[in-house]
Structure 1
Amino acid sequence: MSVLTLQLAGPLQAWGSSARFARRTTEQAPTKSGVIGLLAGALGRQRTDDLSDLAALRFGVRIDQRGTPLRDYQTAHHFETGRSMPVSERFYLADAVFVAAVEGDDDLIHRLHQALRRPGFLPYLGRRSCPPSRPIELGVRHDQTLEERLADETWRAAGWHQRRNNQPTVELETIIQADGNTTAVDTLRDQPISFDPRHRRYALRGIRHGHVEIPNPAARRPSPDHDPTAVLRDL
């Protein structure tokens, strides 16, 4: 088994699991269906193609920078009649950064890694209006599990965000798909079955929330020779 690590960062992201009709919400972190859709697009697959091999991948995500919830609305007119359509709401995450990982068969993970470097369809972060601002792929590891990869990957938050948190380590939330050895404590309807526009289908997926402690590369460390009481002695 191998693990492919992804960096999901951009001005806007939107990861809906229950968005319908005129109100399109977003989850607090990337969904499995959204990331599998990104990977399927990188492979050049059509929405009607079989995705059972990708759906079988185990998925996890780490929240490196939560971002800010943003609400937008859209207006439209029917292209033939000119009649006004209902106003629709769109919710996004602004300035968010996530580290995601998928675990699966070595050959499939290798093909996904290569596809992300030369994608068949341009990747986007949940919606087509949300392009990534950084390279997505962070490499493949064969010597770590999905959990170990999320606990080991460098903190990917923006530099200004890292400097604002001046602690030597940070505690980051993880959302990891439950496997046969762990018990799910929550569920999310983002297990993709079909992306066919005529009949999109998603199943429930068990997830577990956790935390990992990651070093902060921007933390200011005092000089070992610094003595804060020296000025008092001089007086």
Structure 2
Amino acid sequence: MTGHTLVLRLAAPMQSWGTRAAFNDYRDSTDHPTRSGVLGLLACALGHPRGSEPGDLTQLDLAIRIDRPGTPMEDFHTIGGQSATQVVPSADGSRRRGAILTRRAYLADAAFTIALTGPSSLLQQASDALDQPAYTPYLGRRACPPAAPYNLGIHLGDTTTALATAPLDRTAPTGKTTITVDTITTVTHDDPTATHTINDNPHGQRRFSQRTLARSTLTLPASLCLGNDPNLRYEQLHNYRYNQTN
């Protein structure tokens, strides 16, 4: 039986997908959205309290298409330290004296297509929440809001169909009719196609377990590319979401 897939477009000037739960002097970012980060985005939209258990959202699986890989970058943060007596609030409720120095990694100008599968009722609930979010969704960090539109709706078919037909957020290559992109899917730990693991299965209260992934390439028609004209881009995204039979 053919199921349904919720398709998201995650694009922004900056996004960051960390894989380390502990806050230290370096905040990392992997080169693609994490499961914990995407489920966290949905949890924000649904109004889940920060740090709560993921609950029903764990029923959702995701596949990723890397439309634009973006450029890795870092910035340097200084929090506090303006005076010898100033103290900085900590997450555990205590206060830390002096300055906190951190480096933080980001992806600049990246774009990803996310295909989420699971119970139809849960997909619909998540889609409705993304249209009217309880809390502002963000791409890994609160300073990284997604570009609109990020909800491309629920579509008939599996993740393979979604990743092969969703608009591609990049410029078509000159003189070519096809374009090759990377995809990332969840597989079992003993799957021969597995390429790497990542610690991004959320269990609440900053607890995570490992997930096995397979990275592969997908060749698509260049006509899927959105290009740079803003009016045509939004028209294509609108048509993809609404000109369909669910």
TM-score range for the pair, normalised by the shorter chain length = 0.7 to 0.9
Q: Where does residue 28 of structure 1 map in the other structure? A: 31
Of the three residues 60, 63, 75, the one matched with 1:60 is 63
C-alpha deviation, 1:49, in angstroms = 3.2
Q: Which amino acid aligns with 2:168?
A: W
- Return the alpha-carbon distance in structure 2 between the equivalents of residues 24 and 185 of structure 1: 24
Distance in 2 between residues matched to 1:68 and 1:165, nearest whole Å:
22
Alpha carbons of structure 1 residues 127 and 165: separation in structure 2 relative to 1, 3 Å: farther
Count of aligned pairs? 210
> Where does structure 2 lack aligned partners over 5 or more consecutive residues?
87-96, 227-246
Deviations 1:48-99 (A, max 9, x none): 4331311221111110011111110000116993253242001111111110
Alpha-carbon contact 2:76-2:102 (below 8 Å) kept: yes
2:162 corresponds to which residue? 149
Deviations 1:196-221 (A, max 9, x none): 3xxx10100111111111222369xx
| Separation in 2, partners of 1:78, 1:147 | 51
Q: CA deviation at 1:165?
A: 4.9
Contact 1:191/1:202 (<8 A) preserved: yes
Contact kept, 8 Å, 1:18 with 1:25, in 2: the verdict is yes
- Aligned-pair distance for 1:167? 2.0
Runs of 4+ in 1 over 3 A off after TM superposition: 163-166, 179-185
- Name the structure 2 match of 1:50: 53
Is 1:174 the equivalent of 2:183? yes
Q: Is the 8 A contact 2:17 2:29 kept in 1?
A: yes
1:17 to 19, 31, 40: 19
Going from structure 1 to structure 2, the CA distance change for 1:93 and 1:146 (only over 3 Å counts) comes to same
Q: 84-93 or 29-38, which moves further after superposition? A: 84-93
Shift in Å at residue 8 of structure 1?
Answer: 0.3
Is the 2:182–2:217 Cα contact (8 Å) retained in structure 1?
A: yes
Q: Say if 2:9 and 2:111, in contact at 8 Å, map to a contact too.
A: yes
> Is 1:71 paired with 2:80?
no
> What amino acid maps onto 1:87 in structure 2?
L
The answer for the alignment partner of 2:207 in structure 1 is 201
Kindly indicate whether the alpha-carbon contact (under 8 Å) linking 1:173 and 1:212 is maintained by their aligned counterparts in 2.
Answer: yes
Letter in 2 for 1:137: N
Instruction: Flag the 1:110–1:96 CA change in 2: closer, same or farther, 3 A.
Output: same
1:212 aligns with 2:218: yes
Partner of 2:203, secondary structure, is: strand
Structure 1 position 81 matched with structure 2 position 85: yes
What is the TM-score of this pair, normalised by structure 1? 0.82
Between 1:164-173 and 1:35-44, the stretch displaced more is: 164-173
Identity, % of aligned pairs?
35
Give the Cα–Cα distance (whole angstroms) in 2 for the partners of residues 86 and 42 of structure 1. 30
Using the alignment, how far apart are the partners of 1:189 and 1:38 within structure 2? 17
Larger radius of gyration: 1
Aligned CA-pair RMSD: 2.3
Mapped contact 1:178–1:208 kept (Cα < 8 A): yes
Pairwise CA distance, 1:46: 0.7
CA contact (8 A) 1:154 1:214 kept: no
8 A Cα contact 1:155 1:215, kept in partner: no
1:142-197 Cα offsets, whole Å, 9 max, x none, are 3x11122112212122xxxx155542111100011115995544211001111x3x
Task: Choose 176-185 or 23-32, whichever is displaced more.
Answer: 176-185
Gaps of 5+ in 1: 220-235
